[in-house]
Structure 1
């Protein structure tokens, strides 16, 4: 049986990582869990986010994954080390890959980070960036109104533009040249964020870097899938399956149009 890569998120945001893993590793089977019934994680206490993450991992482990990707910045910030201590397979998050990409991108040494309240409160990106470059200047901003827009499938509208414009206004006076989209939901809004921030600010998403880290780890362990068999992906959500499936199909597009997929709504917690 082909062992899958398990990817989990508070909702649909982790699909940005799924898309990159599918692009870079098309032979790999993916099982994805979006906790859409309990999203967003950002405003929740760290202990609660850790408990939710444990519950999802406990559910997914029955499928014998060879790796777990916590494709949620808030969960990565507060629960990554906890999960790594509880399982014997590799567990990666999305914060250090994003920080590495931003550190390589910036020319001015001024990097902005936008994320959920929980991610920004944790200081995880600032810690990661300072570890990579002690002199870097990090400007952090919580944008709690973004995740609900994405979970509703509201990616491009007048309401979306005004919400993004108002939320990012505090960053407009700073001299940053690089902005980390510190929530995997935010790439769904990348066109609007780019329009608001302007062409001189490079937007960094952790999805591509995370997928490369997944590939590197599996290759080092000789665990990459061999052969030409078409993988059967599995997508799980804890909330409204209709909205979840619509957003998944819209985001992944032709990458899943011809692939066999199993959709499930499990009970956890």
Structure 2
């Protein structure tokens, strides 16, 4: 089992920030990544539809005999984890619980902000996860839907992005939060602008980084770590790979080559 790959899926390219963190912490692991680019974004879909998409993506990865499923999508993590755990006898790691635990542990004032897609914010999944750690914490959620296209456009240090951030983040500044969860896998690319708007005293919680740490801890506790110097990465998408290769290369800071287009089986 330890020689098997880690399976990672997302609705598109955002989950590559999770993959990058996993590679950084576990360079010896093989990873199979699936971006459901034909049906992106998940954030505007109904919970029932997202669950079906997640089951189909996971079934594809399981066919590759992976040893773990990483749901590198906040929307899918907010609604699909119970169904995935029920259908597949593998460890299933989402991106919400790791970030929520860290935020609850690091806040000093007890006021935590969460930014994400409309779907993630409507689910209140981060609020529930943070309150499971400490029900007395005050959590304010703000949707930031334009952050995703801005990140994919590469406008990471652009006046339009700065103005958008100032507009979105104003309620969080007014609430005097001291901890902010980046509740979308695209948002780590915008860390610099978010930090500039929020100020240096606000701690930014990168769910991708915390998820990778949870993946490492889970594999280590199950004696499933692969003992190798470097691993292999395989990339699959459900639509033509051209844009995924272009945008994904910017996310990873390296060229994305050999991305294969596939079709998912309907469940």
**TM-score calculated relative to the size of structure 2:** 0.93
Structure-2 change in CA distance of 1:217 and 1:22 (3 Å)? same
Task: Give the corresponding residue for 1:244.
Answer: 244
**TM-score calculated relative to the size of structure 1:** 0.92
Q: Say whether 1:180 aligns with 2:181.
A: yes
Q: Relative to structure 2, which stretch is displaced further, 153-162 or 17-26?
A: 153-162
Pairwise CA RMSD: 1.8
Distance 1:120 1:48 in 2: 17
Task: Give the corresponding residue for 2:149.
Answer: 148
Distance 2:262 2:150 in 1: 24
Q: Relative to structure 2, which stretch is displaced further, 104-113 or 213-222?
A: 213-222
Task: Give the corresponding residue for 1:112.
Answer: 113
Task: Give the corresponding residue for 2:60.
Answer: 59
Task: Give the corresponding residue for 1:7.
Answer: 8
Which 5+ residue runs of structure 2 have no aligned equivalent? none
**Helix, strand or coil at the partner of 2:135:** coil
Q: Relative to structure 2, which stretch is displaced further, 152-161 or 219-228?
A: 152-161
Q: Say whether 1:45 aligns with 2:49.
A: no
Q: Say whether 1:128 aligns with 2:167.
A: no
Q: Say whether 1:266 aligns with 2:262.
A: yes
CA contact (8 A) 1:110 1:178 kept: yes
Distance 1:35 1:200 in 2: 37
- Which aligned runs of 4 or more in structure 1 are off by greater than 3 angstroms? 151-154
Distance 1:150 1:240 in 2: 20
CA contact (8 A) 1:7 1:71 kept: yes
CA contact (8 A) 1:114 1:142 kept: yes
Aligned-pair CA distance for 1:111: 0.3
Aligned-pair CA distance for 1:245: 1.3
**Helix, strand or coil at the partner of 2:112:** strand
Aligned-pair CA distance for 1:183: 0.9
Task: Give the corresponding residue for 1:209.
Answer: 210
**Helix, strand or coil at the partner of 2:259:** strand
Distance 1:102 1:72 in 2: 18
Which 5+ residue runs of structure 1 have no aligned equivalent? none
Aligned-pair CA distance for 1:115: 0.9
**Helix, strand or coil at the partner of 1:214:** helix
> How many residues are paired up?
264
Distance 2:257 2:243 in 1: 16
CA contact (8 A) 1:234 1:261 kept: no
CA deviations over 1:63-91 (Å, ceiling 9, x no partner): 10000000111100000111111001111
